[in-house]
A and B are shown apart, each in its own frame.
Chain A
Amino acid sequence: MPLRHAVSTLTLTAMSDAAPTAQLEDVDVILGGNHILHRIRLTLPAGCVTAVIGASGSGKSTLLRLLNGLVTPQAGTVYRHGQPLTSERFRDVRRDTGYAMQQIGLLPHLSIADNIALPLRLAGRAPEAIADRVGALLDAMQLSPELAARYPAAASGGQQQRAGLARALALEPELLLLDEAFSGLDAITRLATHERFVALRGTEIKSALLVTHDLDEAARLADRLVILNAGRIVREGPRDDVLTDPRDPYAIELVEAFQCAD
């Protein structure tokens, strides 16, 4: 398991001093009569990559969407930038939060470059600044300018996902949200995308919250792990602590399955 320890421990020590990127305080979410999340308490330390792991239907995507206001809690409070996240703040907070998901959602009528440029245009950046930033993002994501001139339909799944990541990172957000962002990719492309992610840690990627059903992916990319079962956090902590001492029965099962597969 060489990749498991690839993340530098420097970030782990730095993170505790700064104010947390986001916090969830006793959050309950009920959607269409279903109680999706129960009393969630979670802190996302600055500079840290946190992974939420759980089965489908465990509420992990809902948890992620709380952080940019795509989901509003029925009880409890979401804190961003140290203040409760209210609807008046959605616009500002969303522009400081990158969001990438499995379906990617590149707009089909725009070229890949224009998709990446869209958040910058919305933010009113000057054309030269936009061109520079798009160029830098294409470099960072290893996308060629020829490819960037094409429509998304003409790009591969991996290229589209990297373009989606570039769009999410365009405004240099404080927090990056990844909702099963790598799940649709084949194994090789996925591994390459993971490497991109790790390479951009500390530069393009500051803090991140990623949601996945795959503990292996979580272990490769994250500093902290959160295990979610049926809408409740059953185990949370630094990656190695959780992996060596899962404690909760569901977490134990999950970690054992992961080690067998390894």
Chain B
Amino acid sequence: MRGLIAALVLVATPAWAEPVRIGSKNFTESYLLAEIAAQHLEARGVEVVRQFGLGGTKICYDALRASEIDLYPEYTGTIAAAILGDTTLTNIAPPLAEQGLATYAPPGFNNTYVLALRKALAESRGLTKISDLVGETGIDAALSHEFRARNDGWPALSAHYGLTLGSRGIEHGLAYEALASGGADLTDAYSTDGDLSRADLVLLDDDRAFFPRYDAVWLARTTLAPDVVAALSELEGRIDEATMQALNARAALDGEGIATVAASFLATSGLANANTPVPSQFWSRLAGNTARHIQLTLAALLLAGIVGVSLALVLQPFARAASGLLYVCGLLQTIPSIALLALMIPLVGIGVVPAVIALFLYALLPIVRATLTAINAIEPVYLTVADALGMTASERRRHVLVPLAMPHIIAGLRTAAVIAIGTATLAAFIGAGGLGQPIVTGLALNDTGLILEGAVPAALLAIVTDLVFDLLERRLVPPHLRSA
């Protein structure tokens, strides 16, 4: 299966030395650190593959363990709590070594959680540290979903300090706007967030030492080549908290590109040599993303068309089996796409293969349903004719069932194609690229232009696909049998 998909997608894999595959999560700082490492390694002559914007800690970590990426930027506190599941851990090296992983060359800053309070409220109530919140009421805490759920997050913090405040979840990128507009009072933040330097916020002092250290490190496979480790160590200690905050602000608030900010950091640090790579050009990036998007969709659709129509044809004579098939396809449809993608990682890793499998599974229902409905609706006289002409089961499928069901099959494929084009934008979360790449990056960087760079071509692609199916129907179905 995997080989078949890989062949269908025609992924070009270079034949020379293994490149270093760098991952990142889908927020500004992670992109920046990963890009800094990538440019620096490239400047040292190492070939790099960027697998940025992976959809969260679990996806990055699973990808690393499955050897789909070689390193990504992570934080010591996150490794202890979210990955190893033990917040009291003081030495994370031994359990990581068991997994064939290690941390390298801390860049030099601690991006811990902080609680940020609206300045006006803090001043009016005289709140400066977290313990001041004890017994306070009427403070609207809007916290990121991850912080509310983590072992070392809000519930543990409330218990540690004895807080009684309620909370609600909010997308982290929107929290600052909510606080600025007075829609909320309190949020969790990262101490290097670019917004912190500019918004009217007070950072509450962690006076009872609840938060562990979140020192940035490179979490990597121990198989990393010595020259790569050496190059990474040149970055060690180069980025303090103020520097990181400034870089984040430039990328997230001023809209400078990730590549530009990374390059200028390397240049001012005296690390980059002359041939710093220029950021990729708009049109070539667009063409690359669109081509990959079409590959993903087409491969999934082709597979789903072949498998879906065949299954429907073979199982249609058996009513129970046919309704069982519909049931299974319907069930697959109810799995949220991001969850399906995440479930795929331990089985087939990240990248194109799991994306195509997920898209394939989603495409099955419309195709199977259309085929079954169409065959069941065929007038009995044609089935009698097929019998009377002495057709075998396969002749009957080929000469009667499929041609008569064709208008509906094409309609099913059309629906599946439009769904697949939309869903394929999520493939970027697991490093499969496509038009979701600029959307995911744009969401992380709060860059509307970048979001449109993915969303507009995806919409156009859906329209073009619709037209292609019109042509296909014109070719395959005589005029009087076409669906309206």
Q: CA separation between A102 and B406, bound complex, in Å?
A: 26
Stretch from B99-107, B234-242, B269-277, B384-392 forming part of the interface with A? B384-392
Residue in chain A with minimal CB distance to B406: A109
Which residues does B use to contact A, with CB under 8 Å? 381-382, 384-385, 387-392, 395, 399-400, 403-404, 406, 477-478, 480-481
Contact for A99 among B382, B388, B406, CB less than 8 A: B388
- The tally of CB-CB contacts under 8 A between chains A and B is 55
B388 touches A94 (CB 8 A): yes
User: Is A107 interfacial (CB-CB < 8 Å)?
Assistant: yes
A91-B392, A108-B481 are known; give 18 further A-B pairs, CB within 8 A: A70-B384, A93-B390, A94-B387, A94-B389, A94-B390, A97-B388, A99-B385, A105-B384, A107-B385, A107-B403, A108-B404, A109-B403, A109-B406, A109-B481, A110-B403, A119-B389, A122-B389, A151-B478
Q: CA separation between A107 and B403, bound complex, in Å?
A: 9
User: Is A68 interfacial (CB-CB < 8 Å)?
Assistant: yes
User: Is A118 interfacial (CB-CB < 8 Å)?
Assistant: yes
Residue in chain A with minimal CB distance to B390: A94
| A:75-132 near B, CB below 8 Å | 90-95, 97, 99, 101, 103-105, 107-110, 118-119, 122
| A:119-164 near B, CB below 8 Å | 119, 122, 151, 153
A122 touches B391 (CB 8 A): yes
Residues of A within 8 A of B477 (CB): 109
Residues of B within 8 A of A91 (CB): 390, 392
A151 touches B480 (CB 8 A): yes
Question: Top 10 closest A-B pairs, CB basis?
Answer: A94-B390, A99-B388, A105-B385, A105-B381, A109-B403, A91-B390, A95-B390, A103-B381, A153-B480, A119-B389
Main secondary structure of the interface of A (DSSP, over half): mixed
Residues of A within 8 A of B480 (CB): 108, 151, 153
Contact for B390 among A90, A101, A107, CB less than 8 A: A90
B388 touches A107 (CB 8 A): no
Shortest Cβ distance from A109 into chain B, in angstroms? 4
Residues of A within 8 A of B403 (CB): 107, 109-110
Which among A93, A94, A104 has the highest number of chain B CB atoms within 10 Å? A94
Known: A95-B390, A118-B399, A122-B389. A109 touches B478 (CB 8 A): yes
A122 touches B390 (CB 8 A): yes
Residues of A within 8 A of B404 (CB): 107-109
Contact for A101 among B384, B395, B481, CB less than 8 A: B384
A68 touches B388 (CB 8 A): yes
Shortest Cβ distance from B374 into chain A, in angstroms? 13
A70 touches B388 (CB 8 A): yes
Residues of A within 8 A of B389 (CB): 94-95, 99, 118-119, 122
Residue in chain B with minimal CB distance to A68: B388
Contact for A92 among B387, B390, B392, B478, CB less than 8 A: B390
Shortest Cβ distance from B476 into chain A, in angstroms? 9
Shortest Cβ distance from B129 into chain A, in angstroms? 78
B400 touches A107 (CB 8 A): yes
18 A-B pairs whose Cβ atoms sit less than 8 Å apart in the complex? A70-B384, A70-B387, A94-B387, A97-B388, A99-B388, A99-B389, A101-B381, A104-B381, A107-B385, A107-B403, A108-B404, A108-B478, A108-B480, A109-B481, A118-B399, A122-B389, A122-B390, A151-B478
Which among B384, B389, B400 has the highest number of chain A CB atoms within 10 Å? B389
Residue in chain B with minimal CB distance to A154: B480
